[in-house]
Chain A
């Protein structure tokens, strides 16, 4: 049996880095002024990054079309991070000053719609199908 130190695939440090960022987010919450939006979004990006890295780690073997799968996972990471970034940037459903109600997107206020449809529903049409497409029997 070899005593060599096994190689470390790139998703492993990615997961460790994400865990460090998540801890940073939690520690920030203990500080007196609460968690700013930027730190909350970074926390979210780390959680998404950890999921994507775990998928990439598991998909290193027993898959075909690996390059394409890598791009799909990367695209999903940006899709999810983008949806949550939009949730921070879009105007609220009701303007706090004028009281004007924003136009609904498929029945929901814009910020809620990008989260529910963009981060919740859209990945259903990407990741499970990518899994089946790249599955190696």
Chain B
């Protein structure tokens, strides 16, 4: 039904807006590539990011295509329980600013840390913990990238009717063109453009959704008459299932490397003051599409205005093509592509940094401090030896290799992609959140506690998701592997830190202690 939207009435507008969007992104990428002179530019945008850029970039990177396509579809399917994924949005950015934002920015300054595993390595004086966290990130990054390339292929096929596989490679190629050249600098610049597009488009679509359904009250009345459970607080989920969503997405937000590592890029930590407010407002404005389209499409299907959806993910494309002006539909479809591309770009950068800085940390047998000093983009940018061009070149090479691998995974196996995507969020959360969010604020956390936490998250998530994927067992309603692994990771962190508490003080370098007390 959504195949080849460009061939529908108004499809010419969609096609031209899509092409114009690709041209804008390409121009931004080309300019950013010229400005990317060293690894500090490539991985940290030259540590020159301000408030608006940080907020829009984090907002754009957080949402991905899920907020535009998967989210409304999920709401259409399971009812209001889907909103528990986004309910904590009003709190998560203040929480991340308090728990990790300021600390990571300071750590980046005093140790030239580039990545979240690097921050763990420096905090616990443990290259092993850095490598383990880097390995976890790399696995999840590949899965996320493959999923997002597949989403790009589906959207491009829907708009251009070109087939999913060519769409995967076209989407990957465009993203790679600016990501490999301009690194995260290109990502930040395009995020500003893409974030604005997403926010404005979502607010407008929310208005059209309410109008199409006759207002929120009419939408509710229509749904209540046909499916009252849909508008119960947890919809068709169990209360535990909805609350489990809330827990995993609230706490897990602290461990998403493509989002949290942007704190390293801040020019001035003082701008953090207004970061939670600005980011939260932008995020909630953008999430209006999620809520509006999910509810309106359900009501419109009940009213018979549109036929029942064959697939829930068609909710947004069908609504756009049937109930909004072609120009707006084109802008929002471009916004959906924008959301996916900005997330992928961040993952490309995080994955390349993990390959370059984190995975080698353990077998090089150097301390996190030495690693940071030797490979620091900041120091490199100050002209220390030939490391700058070496890291920049390797960063670009790893970005290309990761992208090719992810696109191949996306093309070759749809079920494998779905499997990889399932555990991405949970793997990030369970391996990074306790060691980072608690560890950066509590001197009593120990290296062994951090290793136990990361190891528990890695083992429980990979084992649990693999057994579930292979059909060996099914968890009871409301229980998710990601939630369970996050809880167990927290408990392992606290239990082992308590048992090894005698080593806590001696495991802290003086500058790290000063950072934690500042």
Contact = CB atoms under 8 A, between A and B. Distances in A.
A29 B276 contact: no
B506 interface: yes
Contacts of B441: 57-58, 60
B272 interface: yes
A8 interface: yes
Nearest to B98: A58
B236 interface: no
Interface string B258-287: 000000000000101110110011001000
A2 B80 CA distance: 53
B80 A112 contact: yes
The B contact surface, by secondary structure, is helix
Contacts of A93: 220, 224, 228, 231-232
Interface size class of A (residues with CB under 8 A): 35 or more
Interface string B119-158: 0000000000000000000000000000000000000000
Nearest to A129: B277
B518 A62 contact: yes
A83 to B, nearest CB: 9
A76 B90 CA distance: 11
B233 A111 contact: yes
A97 interface: no
A109 B331 CA distance: 33
Given A26-B479, A29-B478, A101-B224, A127 B232 contact: no
Interface in B450-503: 475-479, 483-484, 487-488, 490-491, 494, 501-502
Contacts of A47: 243, 246-247, 250-251
B505 A19 contact: no
A61 B479 CA distance: 36
A6 B490 contact: no
Most chain B beta carbons < 10 A, residue from A43, A51, A119: A51
B216 A107 contact: yes
A131 B240 contact: no
A74 interface: no
A92 B491 CA distance: 37
A26 B353 CA distance: 35
Contacts of A57: 98-99, 438, 441-442
Contact of A137 (B90, B232, B273): B273
A94 B277 CA distance: 37
B473 to A, nearest CB: 11
A121 B83 CA distance: 12
B102 A51 contact: no
A26 B483 contact: yes
A35 B478 contact: yes
B413 interface: no
A98 to B, nearest CB: 12
Chain A CB count within 10 A is highest, among B280, B281, B501, for B280
Contacts of A51: 88, 91, 95, 250-251
B231 to A, nearest CB: 5
Interface of B: 80, 83, 86-91, 93-95, 97-100, 102-103, 215-217, 219-221, 224-225, 228, 231-233, 238-240, 243-244, 246-247, 250-251, 254, 270, 272-274, 276-277, 280-281, 284, 437-438, 441-444, 475-479, 483-484, 487-488, 490-491, 494, 501-502, 504-506, 510, 516-518
17 contacts: A26-B487, A34-B477, A40-B238, A41-B239, A62-B518, A76-B91, A87-B233, A88-B239, A107-B219, A111-B232, A115-B87, A123-B91, A127-B90, A129-B277, A130-B94, A132-B276, A137-B270
- For the complex of A and B, the 8 pairs showing the least CB-CB separation, nearest first, are A107-B216, A58-B98, A6-B443, A58-B99, A40-B239, A47-B247, A128-B277, A94-B228
